Amino acid sequence: MRKITYRDALREALREEMLRDSSVFLLGEDIGRYWGGAFKVTDGLAQEFGDERVRDTPISESAIIGTAVGAAITGMRPVAEIMFGDLTALAMDQIANQAAKIRYMFGGQTKCPLVIRTPFGAGVNIASHHSQSLEAWFMHVPGLYVAVPSTPYDAKGLLKTAIRGSNPVFFCEHKLLYPIEGEVPEEEYTIPFGKAEVKREGADVTVVATMYMVHKALSAAKQLEKEGLSVEIVDPRTLTPLDRRAIVASVRKTGRIVVVSEDCKTAGVSAEIAAVVAEEALDYLDAPVKRVAEPDTPIPFSPPLEQHVIPDEKAIIKAIKEVV
Amino acid sequence: MRKITYRDALREALREEMLRDSSVFLLGEDIGRYWGGAFKVTDGLAQEFGDERVRDTPISESAIIGTAVGAAITGMRPVAEIMFGDLTALAMDQIANQAAKIRYMFGGQTKCPLVIRTPFGAGVNIASHHSQSLEAWFMHVPGLYVAVPSTPYDAKGLLKTAIRGSNPVFFCEHKLLYPIEGEVPEEEYTIPFGKAEVKREGADVTVVATMYMVHKALSAAKQLEKEGLSVEIVDPRTLTPLDRRAIVASVRKTGRIVVVSEDCKTAGVSAEIAAVVAEEALDYLDAPVKRVAEPDTPIPFSPPLEQHVIPDEKAIIKAIKEVV
Amino acid sequence: MTLDLPKESLVKMYRKMLEIRFFEEKVFGLYGQNLVPGTIHLYAGEEAVAVGVCSALSKDDYITSTHRGHGHCIAKGADLKRTMAEILGKKTGYCKGKGGSMHIADFSIGMLGATAVVGAGLPIAVGAGLSARLRKTGQVVACFFGEGASNQGTFHESINMASAWKLPVIFVCENNLYAMGTRQSRIMNIENIADRAVSYGIPGVSVDGNDVLAVYEAACVAVERARRVEGPTLIECKTYRQKGHSRVDPAKYRPREEVEGWLQRDPIKRLRHKLIQTVISTEAELQEIEKEVSSEIEDAVKFAVESTFPAPEEALEDVYAQI
Amino acid sequence: MTLDLPKESLVKMYRKMLEIRFFEEKVFGLYGQNLVPGTIHLYAGEEAVAVGVCSALSKDDYITSTHRGHGHCIAKGADLKRTMAEILGKKTGYCKGKGGSMHIADFSIGMLGATAVVGAGLPIAVGAGLSARLRKTGQVVACFFGEGASNQGTFHESINMASAWKLPVIFVCENNLYAMGTRQSRIMNIENIADRAVSYGIPGVSVDGNDVLAVYEAACVAVERARRVEGPTLIECKTYRQKGHSRVDPAKYRPREEVEGWLQRDPIKRLRHKLIQTVISTEAELQEIEKEVSSEIEDAVKFAVESTFPAPEEALEDVYAQI
Ligand SMILES: Cc1ncc(C[n+]2csc(CCOP(=O)(O)OP(=O)(O)O)c2C)c(N)n1
Ligand SMILES: Cc1ncc(C[n+]2csc(CCOP(=O)(O)OP(=O)(O)O)c2C)c(N)n1
Ligand SMILES: [Mg+2]
Ligand SMILES: [Mg+2]
- Reported as a single tens digit per residue, the pLDDT across C239-250 is 999 999 998 899
Would the pLDDT of C276 be above 90? yes
Q: How many CA atoms lie within 13 A of D89 on its CB side?
A: 26
CA D123–ligand 1 middle distance (angstroms): 20
Ligand 1 pocket check for B59: Cβ under 6 Å: yes
Q: Which residue of B has its CA nearest to A127?
A: B105
Does C130 lie at the interface with A, CB-CB under 8 angstroms?
yes
Residue B283: the pLDDT is: 95
Beta bridge partners of B240: B146
CA A87–ligand 4 middle distance (angstroms): 18
Q: What is the mean pLDDT of residues C66-86?
A: 98
Whether the CB-CB separation of A67 and A98 falls below 8 Å is answered with no
Would the pLDDT of C122 be above 90? yes
Q: Sorting pLDDT into bands at 50, 70 and 90, what band is C267? A: very high
ipTM of the complex: 0.99
- Are the Cβ atoms of C187 and D153 closer than 8 angstroms? no
Atom of ligand 2 nearest to the CA of D147: 16
Q: What is the mean pLDDT of residues A130-140?
A: 98
Residue A320: the pLDDT is: 98
Which-ligand-closest: CA of C238? 3
Q: Which of B291, B121, B295, B311 is nearest to B207 (CA)?
A: B291
Q: Which of D58, D59, D37, D169 is nearest to D106 (CA)?
A: D59
- Are the Cβ atoms of D124 and B70 closer than 8 angstroms? yes
Residue D217: the pLDDT is: 98
Helices and strands counted in chain B (H then E): 12, 14
CA D67–ligand 2 middle distance (angstroms): 7
As a residue count, chain B comes to 324
Interface with B, mutate which of A98, A266, A305 (most B CBs under 10 A): A266
Q: Which residues of D touch A306 (CB under 8 A)?
A: 315
* Nearest protein CA to atom 11 of ligand 2, as residue: D179
Residue C1: the pLDDT is: 54
Would the pLDDT of B236 be above 90? yes
Interface with A, mutate which of C61, C65, C94, C134 (most A CBs under 10 A): C134
Does A243 lie at the interface with D, CB-CB under 8 angstroms?
no
Question: What domains appear along chain B, each with residue ranges and CATH number?
Answer: 3-183 (3.40.50.970), 197-323 (3.40.50.920)
> In this complex, how many residue pairs, one in chain B and one in chain C, have their CB atoms less than 8 Å apart?
123
CA distance, residue D46 to nearest chain A CA (Å): 21
Q: Sorting pLDDT into bands at 50, 70 and 90, what band is B169? A: very high
Q: Which of C67, C115, C247 to mutate to test the pocket of ligand 1 (most atoms within 8 A of CB)?
A: C67
Q: Which residue of A has its CA nearest to D114?
A: A129
Q: Classify residue B165 by its DSSP letter.
A: S
Q: What is the mean pLDDT of residues C64-89?
A: 98
- Of chain D, the percentage scoring pLDDT greater than 70 comes to 99
**Count of CB atoms situated within 10 Å of the CB of D7:** 13
**CA D107 from centroid of its chain's CA atoms:** 16
As a residue count, chain D comes to 323
Residue D2: the pLDDT is: 62
Ligand 2 pocket check for A83: Cβ under 6 Å: yes
pLDDT in tens, C165-211: 999 999 999 999 999 999 999 999 999 999 999 999 999 999 999 99
Does D312 lie at the interface with A, CB-CB under 8 angstroms?
yes
Whether the CB-CB separation of B43 and B31 falls below 8 Å is answered with no
CA distance A65 to A78: 9
Ligand 2 pocket check for D147: Cβ under 6 Å: yes
CA distance A235 to A158: 13
- Of chain A, the percentage scoring pLDDT greater than 70 comes to 100
Backbone torsion region of residue D130, taken as left when φ is above 0, otherwise alpha when ψ lies between -120 and 50, otherwise beta: alpha
Q: Sorting pLDDT into bands at 50, 70 and 90, what band is D248? A: confident
Q: Which residues of B touch D142 (CB under 8 A)?
A: none
- Of chain B, the percentage scoring pLDDT greater than 90 comes to 100
Would the pLDDT of D1 be above 60? no
CA distance, residue A14 to nearest chain C CA (Å): 18
Active site residues of B: 130
Q: Which residues of B touch A289 (CB under 8 A)?
A: 275, 278-279, 282
H or E stretch covering B143: none
Per residue, what are the HEC states of chain C? CCCCCCHHHHHHHHHHHHHHHHHHHHHHHHHHCCCCCCCCCCCCCCHHHHHHHHCCCCCCCEEEECCCCHHHHHHHCCCHHHHHHHHCCCCCCCCCCCCCCCCCCEHHHCEEEECCCCCCHHHHHHHHHHHHHHHCCCCCEEEEEECCHHHCHHHHHHHHHHHHCCCCEEEEEEECCEECCEEHHHHCCCCCHHHHHHHHCCCEEEEECCCHHHHHHHHHHHHHHHHCCCCCEEEEEECCCCCCCCCCCCCCCCCHHHHHHHHHCCHHHHHHHHHHHCCCCCHHHHHHHHHHHHHHHHHHHHHHHHCCCCCHHHHHCCCCCCC
- Are the Cβ atoms of C189 and D164 closer than 8 angstroms? yes
Residue spans of the domains in chain D: they are 7-76+102-303
Q: Which of B196, B194, B191 is nearest to B164 (CA)?
A: B191
Whether the CB-CB separation of C240 and C147 falls below 8 Å is answered with no
Residue B143: the pLDDT is: 98
Neighbour subunits, C (≥3 Cβ pairs < 8 A): A, B, D
Would the pLDDT of C3 be above 80? no
Q: Which of C38, C118, C253 is facing B127, going by the closest CB pair?
A: C38
Q: Which of D118, D144, D183 to mutate to test the pocket of ligand 2 (most atoms within 8 A of CB)?
A: D118
Distances C84 to A39, B286, C35, C108, D59 between C-alpha atoms, Å? 50, 52, 11, 17, 62
pTM above 0.90, yes or no: yes
- Are the Cβ atoms of C321 and A67 closer than 8 angstroms? no
Q: What is the mean pLDDT of residues A24-36?
A: 98
CA distance C104 to C114: 6
Buried-exposed string B71-99: b where 16+ CB fall within 10 A, e elsewhere = bbbbebbbbbbbbbbbbbbbbbbbbbbbb
Average pLDDT, chain A: 98
Which-ligand-closest: CA of B88? 1
- Are the Cβ atoms of C103 and B301 closer than 8 angstroms? yes
Name the CATH code of domain C7-76+102-303 (choices 3.20.20.70, 3.30.1330.60, 3.40.50.970, 3.10.129.10).
Answer: 3.40.50.970
Residues 44-63 of A with CB under 8 A from C: 52-53, 55, 57-58, 60, 62-63
Q: What is the mean pLDDT of residues C62-67?
A: 98
Would the pLDDT of A57 be above 90? yes
Q: Classify residue B27 by its DSSP letter.
A: E
As a residue count, chain C comes to 323
Q: What is the mean pLDDT of residues A256-267?
A: 98
- Of chain A, the percentage scoring pLDDT greater than 90 comes to 100
Cα Rg of chain B, angstroms: 19
Angle between helices D7-32 and D283-306 (to 10 degrees): 40
Which-ligand-closest: CA of C150? 1
pLDDT in tens, D195-234: 999 999 999 999 999 999 999 999 999 999 999 999 999 9
Residues 149-208 of C with CB under 8 A from D: 151-157, 160-161, 163-164, 186-190, 195-196, 198-202
Would the pLDDT of C2 be above 80? no
| Least confident span in A301-310, C1-10, D68-77, D246-255 | C1-10
CA distance D68 to D101: 8
Ligand 2 pocket check for D178: Cβ under 6 Å: yes
pLDDT in tens, A190-208: 999 999 999 999 999 999 9
Beta bridge partners of A115: A79, A169
Ligand 2 pocket check for D176: Cβ under 6 Å: yes
Q: Classify residue B298 by its DSSP letter.
A: P
Cα angle A196-A202-A205, degrees, rounded to a multiple of 5: 90
Residue D13: the pLDDT is: 98
DSSP string, D83-112: HHHHHTT-TTSTTTTSS-TT---BGGGTEE
Per residue, what are the HEC states of chain A? CCEEEHHHHHHHHHHHHHHHCCCEEEEECCCCCCCCCCCCCCCCHHHHHCCCCEEECCCCHHHHHHHHHHHHCCCCEEEEECCCHHHHHHHHHHHHHHHCCHHHHCCCCCCCCCEEEEEECCCCCCCCCCCCCCHHHHHCCCCCEEECCCCHHHHHHHHHHHHHCCCCEEEEEECCCCCCEEECCCCCCCCCCCCCEEEECCCCEEEEECCHHHHHHHHHHHHHHHCCCCEEEEECCEEECCCHHHHHHHHHHHCCEEEEEEEECCCCHHHHHHHHHHHHCHHHCCCCCEEEEECCCCCCCCHHHHHHHCCCHHHHHHHHHHHC
Would the pLDDT of D114 be above 80? yes
